[in-house]
Amino acid sequence: MVPLLLAALIAGPGLVSGQDTVRVGLSDAIQRAVLTSPDIDMQRARVDFAEARSDQARRSRFLTDLQATSAHSLAPGLDNPNGTASDRLYLDPDLRNDWGDLAPFSRVDVDLLQPLWTWGQLSRTIDAAAAGVGLEEGGLAARQMEVAVRTGRLYYTVVLLDAMNSLTDEADEAVSRARREVEKLLNEGSPDVGDADLFQVQITEQEIRRRVVEVREQARTARSALRRQLMLGEGASLTVEDRFLEPLMLSLDSLDTYQNLALENRAELTQVSAGIAAREALVDVARSDFYPKLIWGVHGHYSGTTAERFRQRNPYVGDGFLSRSLETGLGMQLELNFGQTRAKVEQARANLDEAQFQGVAARELILLEVEEAFRKVRIRQAALAAAEESFRIAREWLQTEYVNFDLDLGDTDDLIKAVQAKLQLHAARHEAVFDLNMAILELHASTGLLEPLLAY
């Protein structure tokens, strides 16, 4: 990454402020991203769906199967040639339907099946649905952490490029001074300097010009990426509070401390626990089909018409166009294909085993991730210390070369090398700070806690 970042030494000015300027720090950027990210909104929608599904399961405990069906048509009147009384119509063999006298007809049937004892089928279905909510909530927490780390990386990328831009004047001055020294010695006819030295400086200037455009565009892209992550409008201009790239402060605890925090707070482990709970419940749901379930049922019926028809009170006589009834009682329901039930139970147990194995694997992976993040912080701390010392040495070297040129003892090749070394090591120092800051953010993220990221 150093060769790329060297280009920032000669980068031009930053973005021009637009009509609306938004200034954010690291904590502000992370908070805004978590609140506005469409990725998080999508996961939050999954949580809402799981909550609605859980609510549906709870509401299915009572009035489990309740439905009403209606039918609407036309009904015939009656052809009563004998003038039989309305309460004795069922005794008249000459009574007929009069299809020439049609009138509106409606029928309504209401059915209720209420399980009273299901061997845990209803209650464990509710438990499984509730665990599904926990599963999606864990996914939401994981997505929030992912967005937070991504936002932190974008934020520090912008700060890094801004810091590299601040080296522009220094780079221009260093190269211009080297060219002046070479031209001075050439004009004086010094045998220690030739046209090749001037050509080398001029080539360096052209390389700088090429990198100016490259880094300027990359800086604009990085700022645009952060602006879009924060869901700012197209007309908004974004600035960051950190004008200088400095290492985050961290008092490193022991590895065990971070691993214990991860085991307590990682969203993946929350998801695994919820998944195991859900699949344990589904095993019980599948097993309940081995046993008969006690059910209470109700059936209500009503049909009526405006046609000239009369309801007959005799319980053995019915008129499908004009009737009403109510039936209720207890019943038993049993799945008789025990082979299928056994297969369903085995499938549910296999799913449970899978979730449990996933839990073991997730735990070990999380411990490894924390250890990697922990050791990366220590590596980055050492790398930053080395980069700062190297930069200090490079500054001393360049200062020595300037003094030598002032005393007419300098070597052009050594001066150019010293200039390049100082600029490269200055860029490397900024890169080391960036790497350390990202390692610290990733260490906090590996513990599953978002709060430390918001504290910076």
Sheet strand arrangement including 293-305: 65-79, 96-117, 293-305, 323-333
Question: Which has the higher per-residue pLDDT, 92 or 304?
Answer: 304
Mean pLDDT of 207-225: 81
**Amino acid making up residue 153:** R
Q: Where residue 16 falls among pLDDT bands split at 50, 70, 90?
A: very low
- Which of residues 204 and 341 earns the better pLDDT score? 341
* Segment 158-173, tens digit of pLDDT: 999 988 877 766 777 7
Pairing of strands 20-24, 236-240: parallel
pLDDT at 410 over 80: no
Q: Set out the domains of the chain in order of their start, with CATH numbers.
A: 2-64+119-291+338-454 (1.20.1600.10)
Total count of residues recorded for the chain: 456
Query: What are the phi and psi torsion angles at 202 (to 5°)?
Result: -65, -40
> Under 8 Å CB-to-CB from 313, ≥6 apart: which residues?
87
Structure tokens at 73: 């048509």
Tens-digit pLDDT profile for residues 307-323: 888 888 888 888 888 88
Say whether pLDDT at 340 is over 80. yes
* pLDDT at residue number 1: 42
The answer to which of 13-17, 144-148, 153-157 has the lowest mean pLDDT is 13-17
Task: Map residue 19 onto helix, strand or coil.
Answer: coil
pTM of the model: 0.79
Average pLDDT over residues 284-297: 96
Q: Determine the Cα–Cα distance for residues 330 and 328; give it in Å rounded to an integer.
A: 7
pLDDT average, residue stretch 436-451: 95
pLDDT of residue 214: 77
The answer for residues whose C-beta is within 8 angstroms of residue 146's C-beta and 6 or more apart is 39
What are the strands, taking DSSP E only, across 44-95? 65-79
Name the CA radius of gyration of the chain, rounded.
40
Percent of the chain with pLDDT over 70: 93
Contact 262, 370 (CB under 8 A): yes
Q: How far apart are the first and last CA of the chain?
A: 25
Taking the C-alpha atoms of residue 447 and residue 266, their distance in angstroms, rounded to an integer, is 6
